[in-house]
Chain A
Amino acid sequence: MECRGRGFSRKAALIFLVSISLGILTVSCDSPKRDAKAKTVVVYVSEDQVFSEPILKDFEKGTGIRVKAVYDTEETKGTGVMNRLIAEKDNPQADVYWANEPIRAEVLKQKGISVPYVSPNAKGIPEIFKDPKGYWTGFSARARVFVVHKGFKPKPRSIRAYVDPRFRGKTVIANPLFGTTTTHIAALFTLWGEDRAKAFMEAMKLNKVKLSTSNGESADLVASGEFVFGLVDSDDAANRIRQGRPIEIVYPDQGENGIGCLIVPNAVMLIKGAPHPDNGKKLIDFLLSKETERKLAIAACAQIPLHSAVETPSEVKRIEQIKAMAISYAKVARKLQEIQPFLKQWVGY
């Protein structure tokens, strides 16, 4: 039989099938095993893509090593890729995890997902922001600060302002089930103990604190004047100040007897069974360099460098000027997992 005229010719059908085969070949030949020795590094990133991607591009340019990344979304609040790493424990795909806080890195260490690596560039970073055995290393931090609507008085000075009747119904906090707010609550539990921390949480609820979906939303709600203050990350606050929004930053609990301000550094770690461990170490060295800290400081995220003598944006204090909360991130990580049921119940999940 022949197919004439406007029908599909055998040639067209052949071209169609060959195109699909080539396409499938293109996507399938990119398998992890195949590029194991290639100049590639796989990194899972919880830091916002807007800020982390330019850094990774610089690494690519500088080393010629191709970076393949998986980024978290706003909705999963830094826990999405961490949990993906847990699910891939027996089938690791990533070399490096760039966490936007050390607690997730601690959880992964406790689950046996990371391996120690002490980078030469970690020298100069204060010990409190590093795992003693090198399972993770902190860099470029955020501080947990109050954003206060400009001109409002009295200003909150302590985290206990959340239970102050003067601020009843005028305060906002991000959902404590996610992100750095969970870390903050867990830190309070380790500092104060279970009973006092739970009583504080209940008092906060009675004082009619509003729950927002994210720190960014909290900052916006304070900037628009709907609430007097909220506890957010310093990058959220600095970002709004740069936009000219009417807010001020207050570092909580800085007095002599104050518990201090929680510092939340980024953390980077090498994954156990990483397909490209050498390239992973190179990426870790790069991320821990002073130059990376400088770039993250002058970027819109305004992060606070942990190396001394690195340029710091004017909107935030230098790390030496902040009274940091004296906590063990390992203890906070354990506590964070313990208090999940309480937090779920507190939120009403």
Chain B
Amino acid sequence: MAKRVILFLAVFILIIVGFLPLVVMLVRSIMVEGHVSLAAYRELLNSGREWRLLGHSFALSFLTAMFATLVGLPLGILFGRTDMPFRRLFPVLFTFPLLIPPYVTAVSWVSLLGRDGFLSRTLTPDAAKVVSAWLFGLPGCVMVLFSAFLPIIILLTMAYLKTIDPSVEEAGRLVFGWPQVLMKITLPLLLPGILFATLLVFLLTLGEYGVPSFLRYHVFAVESFTQFSAFYDFNAATAAATPLLGVTFFALVLERFFLHEKTLHIEPGPGSKYALVIRLGAMGKWFAALTGLLCLLVVVLPFLVLLLRSLSINVYKEAFLRAGDSLLRSILYAAIGASALIILGFFLGYLVQTRAFRFWRAIDSLTIFLFALSGAVMGIGLISLWNRPITNFVYGTPIIIILGYLARYIVIPHRVTVSILGQIPPSMEEAAKVAGASWLQRVGLVVIPLAKRGLVAGWLISYIFCLRDMGITMLVYPPGHDTFPVRIFTLMANGSPELIAALCVLMAGITLVPLGVGGMLYKLKGISLTRIG
């Protein structure tokens, strides 16, 4: 009984925080002065500009996903299957841009290649103009989002490599060399996972607002945000968001039918510890050098520029003075958000893993759908639902921010739980049941302790995503409760480049510190991003 009540409650909360805002938003968009009207949608369909923007969105998402996959897949194999030098350090370095808001990466690139950037100063005015024009457009957006989402492909490739039964590759090796084994055995087995990772990057790029907005490349997510934020036109904003909703939904339906069973569980397969290692020999150094060069270009160099630009105690003093309060608030809200996420995510993950209800697939799909949705769309939905005098205790307080985090990032603790619970033999819980333990006792005293390390890692990842959120927070934050990423964005209007650089460095710092502390405390024994996916 307790099990059903608690799991139903978890589903109910998910519907209230994630599903209901979208429904209210859609209903509101077709109601004009009490009557049904599709005017906003008609206008959307008749507007050539909207179709052009959709084309931009697709171009950006396709190119980002393609480049990230073409580069991330070989890197994932190099880090996960070979004896290349520094193969453990590189994934950590490449993951860095994923952990911070993508627009921070954009700021760092502008500091390097913008009109007054470090590199541009060494170029002729004409060349600097060409480079700057290149950065502020499709190529620049692709480059920034490529570096931000590349780690998703790398980490998921490494994770899915561990799910491959080593004996299959061993059998192949008896007949073929590694190149053929990789092409004929490993890659085909990896394909569903890689397609899932590519789809994830595609959808995340499709919903990305900060980078295209900052680099002035007009895409649908920016249009939806502008329609709402600049014109507060609910109907037009929702209509503009609908194609994104549709594409996301369609992509996830495809994922559900073609990939899902193959990608849901990414716990290491039996014998994965004994997987064959590709010996690179003398080539290893060359691969490491090339990887190092790429890492230098897409990770180290831009952030080094930010560091150099902000290298002054006075600038950091000003940064703390200007944004110290929002920094502390961000940490508090992210911690609360991550804690609420891990509780809700655990029960939803338990529901999906144990298939407790018949509609477990719908719950799983909804969590991915909410994650892939543009933050601005989610924000508009939340405002549609909660901006009423009777619900002011939500709308007028930071609770609305926490609800936004819960809706958008629930997939993280949910999927972590599914993955971790998949590694716990069902016999453990069954034994406790035979011994007379209630469901709550079994969960509290058997399942949670066994899943503890994974849940802590899930909390950390949730914390990082809450901390870096801007799409939702920007729209819904109540007066006096802006978070650090939002504060950086609002200070960008006429703020000095040195101040903005210092704020971005601080943003990276508050993201990385808990990861470092978490890593030290637990030494990441058996837990890593790659295992959680």
Instruction: State which residues 421-451 of B face A: CB under 8 Å.
Output: 432, 435, 437, 441, 444-445, 448-450
Chain B 21-50 interface 0/1 with A at a Cβ cutoff of 8 Å (1 = within):
000000000000000000000000001010
- Point out the residue from A53, A75, A300 that lies within 8 Å of B322, measured CB to CB: A53
- Output the least CB separation between B245 and chain A (Å): 21
Q: Are B397 and A30 in contact (CB under 8 A)?
A: yes
A87 in the interface, Cβ–Cβ < 8 Å? Answer: yes
Q: Are B445 and A7 in contact (CB under 8 A)?
A: yes
Q: From DSSP, what is the main secondary structure of chain B's interface residues?
A: helix
Q: Are B396 and A20 in contact (CB under 8 A)?
A: no
Q: Are A19 and B479 in contact (CB under 8 A)?
A: no
| Interface pairs (14), CB distance under 8 Å | A16-B339, A20-B343, A23-B332, A27-B332, A27-B481, A30-B481, A44-B479, A51-B494, A75-B213, A76-B226, A80-B230, A93-B395, A301-B494, A349-B49
Q: In the bound complex, what is the Cα–Cα distance between A300 and B489 (angstroms)?
A: 19
Q: Are A49 and B491 in contact (CB under 8 A)?
A: yes
Total contacting residues, chain B, CB less than 8 A: 60
Q: In the bound complex, what is the Cα–Cα distance between A68 and B482 (angstroms)?
A: 10
* Contact A7:B452 (CB < 8 A) given known A42-B480, A50-B495, A70-B482: yes
A72 to chain B: which residues have CB within 8 Å? 490, 493
- Point out the residue from B222, B225, B482 that lies within 8 Å of A71, measured CB to CB: B482
Q: Are B480 and A69 in contact (CB under 8 A)?
A: yes
Question: 8 nearest interchain CB pairs?
Answer: A68-B480, A83-B232, A7-B449, A74-B493, A27-B398, A68-B479, A23-B336, A32-B396
B129 in the interface, Cβ–Cβ < 8 Å? Answer: yes
Instruction: State which residues 289-313 of A face B: CB under 8 Å.
Output: 300-301
Question: B148-156, B190-198, B383-391, B509-517: which one contacts chain A?
Answer: B383-391
A33 to chain B: which residues have CB within 8 Å? 392-393, 396
Q: In the bound complex, what is the Cα–Cα distance between A1 and B441 (angstroms)?
A: 8
Closest Cβ neighbor of A301 among chain B residues: B494
Closest Cβ neighbor of B450 among chain A residues: A7
A86 in the interface, Cβ–Cβ < 8 Å? Answer: yes
A7 to chain B: which residues have CB within 8 Å? 445, 448-450, 452
Q: Are B383 and A87 in contact (CB under 8 A)?
A: yes
A199 in the interface, Cβ–Cβ < 8 Å? Answer: no
* Contact A348:B49 (CB < 8 A) given known A83-B231, A87-B383: yes
> Which A residues lie at the B interface, using CB under 8 A?
1-3, 6-8, 10, 13, 16, 19-20, 23-24, 26-28, 30-33, 42-44, 48-51, 53, 66-77, 79-80, 83-84, 86-88, 90-91, 93-94, 178, 213, 216, 220, 224-226, 239, 300-301, 348-349
Instruction: State which residues 395-416 of B face A: CB under 8 Å.
Output: 395-399, 402
Q: In the bound complex, what is the Cα–Cα distance between A31 and B479 (angstroms)?
A: 10
Q: Are B490 and A73 in contact (CB under 8 A)?
A: yes
B301 in the interface, Cβ–Cβ < 8 Å? Answer: no
B445 to chain A: which residues have CB within 8 Å? 1-3, 7
Q: In the bound complex, what is the Cα–Cα distance between A13 and B444 (angstroms)?
A: 9
- Output the least CB separation between B312 and chain A (Å): 17
- Output the least CB separation between A29 and chain B (Å): 8
Chain B 478-517 interface 0/1 with A at a Cβ cutoff of 8 Å (1 = within):
1111100001011111110000000000000000000000
- Point out the residue from B47, B230, B383, B402 that lies within 8 Å of A79, measured CB to CB: B230
B159 in the interface, Cβ–Cβ < 8 Å? Answer: no
> Which B residues lie at the A interface, using CB under 8 A?
47, 49, 115, 125, 129, 213, 216, 222, 225-226, 229-232, 234, 322, 332-333, 335-336, 339-340, 343, 383, 387-389, 392-393, 395-399, 402, 432, 435, 437, 441, 444-445, 448-450, 452, 474, 477-482, 487, 489-495
Q: In the bound complex, what is the Cα–Cα distance between A50 and B490 (angstroms)?
A: 8
Q: Are B397 and A90 in contact (CB under 8 A)?
A: no
B402 to chain A: which residues have CB within 8 Å? 24, 27
Q: Are B389 and A90 in contact (CB under 8 A)?
A: yes
B232 to chain A: which residues have CB within 8 Å? 79-80, 83-84, 86-87
Q: Are B229 and A76 in contact (CB under 8 A)?
A: yes
A348 to chain B: which residues have CB within 8 Å? 49
- Point out the residue from B216, B388, B480, B487 that lies within 8 Å of A213, measured CB to CB: B216
Q: Are B230 and A1 in contact (CB under 8 A)?
A: no
Closest Cβ neighbor of A51 among chain B residues: B494
Q: In the bound complex, what is the Cα–Cα distance between A68 and B492 (angstroms)?
A: 20
A30 to chain B: which residues have CB within 8 Å? 397-398, 481
Q: In the bound complex, what is the Cα–Cα distance between A8 and B446 (angstroms)?
A: 9
**9 further contact pairs, Cβ within 8 A, besides A48-B493, A75-B230:** A1-B445, A19-B339, A69-B479, A73-B489, A74-B493, A75-B226, A75-B229, A91-B389, A226-B129
Closest Cβ neighbor of A212 among chain B residues: B216
- Output the least CB separation between B351 and chain A (Å): 20
Closest Cβ neighbor of A275 among chain B residues: B396
